[in-house]
Structure 1
Amino acid sequence: MIHLTLIIVDFLTGLLAAGAWALASAGGAIAAVLGGGFMGLSLFRRWRRK
């Protein structure tokens, strides 16, 4: 019974860690896209002013 509990706890901990990692990497990708968009927009505005 103890072994089964440990396996379940280990599995849930692994899921939690994987979920946190996926969230962090997705957040990083979203931040990169937003940052690139803002940078492109500012460069486009500068280019239009010339």
Structure 2
Amino acid sequence: MIHLTLIIVDFLTGLLAAGAWALASAGGAIAALVGGGLLGMSFFRRWRRKG
């Protein structure tokens, strides 16, 4: 009985860790996209002022 409980707890902990990792990597990707877009807009505005 104890072994089964340990397996279930281990599985749930792994699932939680995988979910947290997926959320963190998705958050990082979204932050990179937003940051890249803002940087691109800044460069575009500077380029338009010179032209």
CA distance in 1, matches of 2:34, 2:27: 10
Matched, 1:13 2:13: yes
Stretches of 4+ moved more than 3 A in 1?
none
TM-score (norm 1): 0.97
| Structure 2 unpaired stretches of 5+ | none
TM-score (norm 2): 0.95
Supply the RMSD in Å over aligned alpha carbons.
0.4
